[in-house]
Structure 1
Amino acid sequence: MVSSAPIVWLLDSDPALRWQVERDLLGEPAAVWQATRARIATEGFGARLLALQDPDGQWAGGAFFPADFDFHGPEAAEGAGQPWTATTWTLNSLREWGLRSTVLRERRTAELLAENSRWEYENLPYWGGEVDCCINAWTVANGQWLGADITGIVDWFLEHRLPDGGWNCEWVEGSTRSSFHSTLNSLKGLLAHEFATGGTEATRAARCSGEEYLLRRGLFRRLSTGEPVAPWVDQFAYPFRWSYTVLNAAEYFRQAALLDGTPPDPRMADAIELIRAARQPDGTWLQARPHPGRVWFEVDAPAGEPSKWLTLFGTRVLNWWDSQA
């Protein structure tokens, strides 16, 4: 059963979004949504990003930051927001939108990045990852998608899991407590690896411990007090980028349940109600303030207006939850 959602409005969208509406909200035959998905490479958002790829396989000349980024200039000032145009962010978008990996494999993207792209951190090779959990998680997901060897980074996650079960990008600064943001992004990388390979007993155990970290906290509460961990937990904005919200987390758990063949965990109930409470009377979700920073082009509504992407995610999550009730 499809929850109340403005389907005609959602269908009037870029192929990157439309195919997911057809598959996940309308239950269209595979031939229908697959045909729409194939259009990502030749029109709309996907085609625009593909046209911006550099001859060396990168985007904007850099791994995580554009080649022209001034780490001491106004763009690096607090509150300015980092640029979202470099290679990792662009690959994240194309992968999450559903571009077929064959498009980039035919361009030898993985090989070109191995030859030409280095992390801004200590000039490390691209497919070897670096020290940031979130960056490494995206590299696992993107590398798995493109056929690169990311085995070493998967092993890195096993070695850098914290005693409370999750991860924190600030481990390099001595942090021993997990972060909601870092843990969710790490889980996404491990899940992508497991979808593609089946994983190992060790990676499945690591994913389970990370999920427990979030579930024990109801996806948004402090374990110590039961209070919300921060006001950002229900401030939904697309693209999600690196940030944690209960909608971003619930979408992860929906995907994990599809892989595991399990029902939703009842400990998510309060988080689901935060998502439900944000739905407008017309069935849409409003865009909060998107992350500031340079982009190639806008892919969603301005702040305060109905967001097609958030409406897709919100409707899909509630359908999943309500169908298991």
Structure 2
Amino acid sequence: MADDVLTWLLDSDPSLRWQVQRDLAGAPPAVWQATRARVATEGFGARLLAHQDPDGQWAGGAFFPRVDGEVQWPAEGDGQPWTATTWSLAQLREWGVDPAVLGDTADRLAEHCRWEYDDLPYWGGEVDVCINATTLANGVWLGVDVEPLAAWFVEHQLADGGWNCEWVEGSTRSSVHSTLNAVRGLLAHEVATGGSAELRAARHRGEEHLLARRLLHRSSGELLDVCLTPPVHPSRWRFDVLRALEHLRAVSEHESTAPDPRAAEAVDRLRAGRHPDGRWVQGPVQPGEVWFGTDAPTGEPSRGVTLGALRVLAWWDADVGPAQ
């Protein structure tokens, strides 16, 4: 990594800078922890916290904004709005905000927040795999007892080892998007609580489903369309090569295991996206209303993608070795 790339990454919001310090710059814990503590009081973290409603929600709703109790469904072509409670909590969590900063948010959400689907209580989740996976991770981060929601993933795992948000419409074939979100949520739960043998086995089956296809292919061997586009940051729910490899890196760290060689083709594809200046560009940004922008527009150098890619390559090359 060139010095100018590291300098560029460090010249960023505290929500990203502390990760650069910890994972790329080799800063001592006292340094990156001090930067991480600033996320809640300045920059993106402070701005997003300031948008929280008195009842604990963001934009008045669980998954979609509400105005005077009415769900604000997006117009066709506008994209998913990213301002409501679930997305805001996930962003704060991924930025490294100390959950203590949110005080009694979990209790306020239990009292006031309901899903758009069937008016279900917030911390119980609903029927969508991706929504439930994010809620599981958010819940354990805020100290909520979400064990019934964790068990839901075992009950809804498909025969091929993965998950699909379309199971309610009868789908029996797993989706890479849904499966990656599910294993990410289960890993967050396991790291926070210790998990259980049953939940760990379900996560491993999901990861095996993705690895058996080398993170890139359908069961037929055909390359997945979603792997033809560059990674995007923030990725939110969409599957891409970087997001999948970041999960495998987190698994290796959690379980003290070596990288799985079946991910090599995906690593090569990620490495090939590096531009001559040492940076990666932003992929196709998902449309939809946001509180404020946090990274580059599509096609421009992205600090978030570059950090993630360099972090994955450092993990992979330390064990497997760089490509020849």
**What secondary structure, in the 3-state scheme, does the structure 2 residue paired with 1:120 have?**
coil
Task: Pick from 301, 304, 308 the counterpart of residue 306 of structure 1.
Answer: 301
Deviation sequence 1:192-231 (CA, Å, 0-9, x none): 010011110100100100000000000011122x221214
Q: CA RMSD in A?
A: 1.2
Deviates most, 62-71 or 91-100: 62-71
- Opposite residue 174 of structure 1, the aligned amino acid is G
Return closer, same or farther for 1:233/1:122 CA change in 2, 3 Å cut-off. Answer: farther
- Opposite residue 70 of structure 1, the aligned amino acid is Q
- Residue 128 of structure 1 corresponds to 124
- Residue 292 of structure 2 corresponds to 297
- Supply the distance in 2 between the matched residues of 1:8 and 1:285 (Cα, whole angstroms): 15
Q: Does residue 1:243 correspond to 2:238, yes or no?
A: yes
Alignment of 1:130-279 (within 5 A): 130-224=126-220, 226-279=221-274
Please tell me whether the aligned partners of residues 5 and 283 of structure 1 are also in contact (alpha carbons under 8 angstroms): no
- Residue 106 of structure 2 corresponds to 110
Deviation sequence 1:178-201 (CA, Å, 0-9, x none): 000000000010000100111101
Q: Does residue 1:315 correspond to 2:310, yes or no?
A: yes
- Supply the distance in 2 between the matched residues of 1:115 and 1:80 (Cα, whole angstroms): 30
Structure 2 residue runs of 5 or longer lacking an equivalent are: none
Q: Does residue 1:95 correspond to 2:93, yes or no?
A: yes
Deviation of residue 45 (structure 1)? 0.2
Name segments (4+ residues, structure 1) moved above 6 Å: none
- Supply the distance in 2 between the matched residues of 1:169 and 1:223 (Cα, whole angstroms): 18
- Residue 66 of structure 2 corresponds to 67
Alignment TM-score, normalising by the size of structure 1: 0.95
- Supply the distance in 2 between the matched residues of 1:92 and 1:249 (Cα, whole angstroms): 17
Deviation of residue 128 (structure 1)? 0.5
Q: Does residue 1:81 correspond to 2:83, yes or no?
A: no
- Residue 33 of structure 1 corresponds to 32
- Supply the distance in 2 between the matched residues of 1:84 and 1:233 (Cα, whole angstroms): 24
| Aligned positions, number | 317
- Opposite residue 199 of structure 2, the aligned amino acid is T
- Residue 53 of structure 2 corresponds to 54
- Opposite residue 216 of structure 1, the aligned amino acid is A
- Opposite residue 93 of structure 2, the aligned amino acid is R
Please tell me whether the aligned partners of residues 234 and 246 of structure 1 are also in contact (alpha carbons under 8 angstroms): no
Deviation sequence 1:282-302 (CA, Å, 0-9, x none): 111001220000000000011
Please tell me whether the aligned partners of residues 10 and 17 of structure 2 are also in contact (alpha carbons under 8 angstroms): yes
Alignment TM-score, normalising by the size of structure 2: 0.96
